[in-house]
Amino acid sequence: MANNSQMGTSNAGYDSEDDRWRVIVKYYGDISSILSTISGAEYTELFNNYAVVSVPASQLDALADAQGIVYIEKPKEIYFNVNNGREASCINSVQGSISSVADISMEGLTGNGVLIGIIDSGERVIILSSNAS
């Protein structure tokens, strides 16, 4: 059986100092109206009716039950756990050919300036082409 972090049930998104959760929600309607009844709720709107909401831990159930909240998810820690993916991405071969920190900087493989963003709304996308054959 997998451990909790492999199953995505870690405490990522939980701030133990403030006893608050940051969660991702999908909603319909006006997010500010939805959250007006939840004490201490703060939010950042994203797009397509998604938002990141910060709430006191005691208000997490109230957020999940709020009228207009369609979906709620706690963040998950993401890490490499599939060697096939690393191999298919050529990560193993690149890392295997570099034996020291000096080699990394000589090859220019420091990672500085690299930004990665993954957005998956789960919504279906249809691409229409105007090119007729």
Contact 21, 60 (CB under 8 A): yes
Burial of 82 (0-12, 13-18, 19+ CB in 10 A): exposed
8 closest CA partner among 75, 92, 84: 75
pLDDT digits (tens, 9 = 90+) for 71-95: 998 877 666 556 666 677 666 666 6
- The amino acid that residue 128 corresponds to is L
Q: Which domains does the chain show, CATH number per domain?
A: 14-73 (3.30.70.2980), 79-109 (no CATH)
Strands (E), 33-102: 42-45, 50-56, 69-73
Q: Strand pairing partners for 73? A: 24
pLDDT digits (tens, 9 = 90+) for 92-131: 666 665 555 555 555 556 666 776 767 677 766 555 555 5
